[in-house]
Amino acid sequence: MDTIGCGTAIVTPFKADGSIDEAALGALVNWQINSGVDFLVACGSTGEAATLDEEEWLHVISLVVEAAAGRVPVWAGCTHNSTKVLLRQAALLKQVSGISAVLSANPYYNKPTQEGQYQHFLALAKAVDPLPVVLYNVPGRTAANLEPATVARLVAAAPNIQAIKEASGKLTQIAELVHTLPRGFKIFSGDDNLALAAVGIGAHGLISVAANEIPAEVTRMIRAALSNHWDEARELERRFAQLFEANFWESNPTPVKTVLSLMGRCTDHVRLPLVPPTAATRARLERLVGEMGLIEHMRSLQG
């Protein structure tokens, strides 16, 4: 896998009736690519994959691949806490031509052991081979941490496991991955607010939530860090640190969809069990968007 840099974990826009807003999704993909992002992740947690039925999930991935039209790699989120179901869904991905990699998070709720996770991810890798697999370690959502030693076992057993999105929030864990995994293995921060620190210790980029709202700026920040232009990278981080935090004032992607709606990019509709932000959170987001000039910025882009 050659991909490095900034990837956007893109939201799935919904219409007022709860259906997928295909036009808004296509427009978001075009804006992301025109803004310079290095790759896109469809149907991750920010894309509300957990609330899409199987047909919708596959359709959203197809729409993103179609809209991207080969301009950037598209990774497909494919996660389940039943290995049997995961493998069935992985087989469905073969219907979509143009997927560059499969991103899969720890099995949630079950709290599997390291051996359980090893067997789960190994089964996925074999099922989609030769398509690259990107492991997604996000214990804050899944209640299961994927330890570096297990990642090393998986990489040794399945050559198509080629990257990891690390969202444990533990820089020491990211450092251990950097130090112990083969040099060609790619490590991506899963946290906007830790991305520069992760790149500083050897990570290869970021899979970002905030890039939904400010794709050009987050991409510039990561590229600057990867190029050792740390003054520029830190200045961009300082400028947008509040937004990185605000995107998690309530459960993701509720805040980021609210910001995108204020910017005129899509509605703020989310699917249950997520709900719209409280009035207080919305007021804080409106204030922050105003202070950062994001609405004026969008107007200037739209001419």
133 vs 161: CA distance, rounded Å: 5
Asked if pLDDT for residue 303 goes beyond 70, the answer is no
Name every residue whose Cβ is closer than 8 Å to that of residue 55 and which is 6 or more positions away in sequence: none
Region 169-193: mean pLDDT is: 96
Asked if pLDDT for residue 167 goes beyond 70, the answer is yes
What are 152's two structure tokens?
A: 């090393």
pLDDT given for residue 295 in this prediction: 80
Asked if pLDDT for residue 215 goes beyond 90, the answer is yes
108 is catalytic: no
136 is catalytic: yes
Q: 64-77, pLDDT tens digit by residue?
A: 999 999 999 999 99
Q: 112-165, pLDDT tens digit by residue?
A: 999 999 999 999 999 999 999 999 999 999 999 999 999 999 999 999 999 999
pLDDT given for residue 302 in this prediction: 57
Asked if pLDDT for residue 296 goes beyond 90, the answer is no
Candidates 94, 111, 126, 136; catalytic one? 136
pLDDT given for residue 254 in this prediction: 98
Region 222-238: mean pLDDT is: 98
Asked if pLDDT for residue 298 goes beyond 80, the answer is no
The CATH code for residues 5-227 is 3.20.20.70
Candidates 108, 118, 165, 257; catalytic one? 165
Asked if pLDDT for residue 241 goes beyond 90, the answer is yes
State what percent of residues in the chain have pLDDT above 90.
96
Q: 89-100, pLDDT tens digit by residue?
A: 999 999 999 999
pLDDT given for residue 25 in this prediction: 98
Region 157-183: mean pLDDT is: 97
Q: Domain locations in the chain?
A: 5-227
The mean pLDDT value of the chain amounts to: 96
Residue 79: CB atoms within 10 A of its CB come to 23
Of 22, 36, 104, the closest CA to residue 66 belongs to: 22
pLDDT given for residue 1 in this prediction: 87
Q: Model's pTM, two decimal places?
A: 0.95
Residue 302: CB atoms within 10 A of its CB come to 7
- DSSP class per residue in 126-182: HHHTTS-EEEEE-HHHHS----HHHHHHHHHH-TTEEEEEE-S--HHHHHHHHHHS-
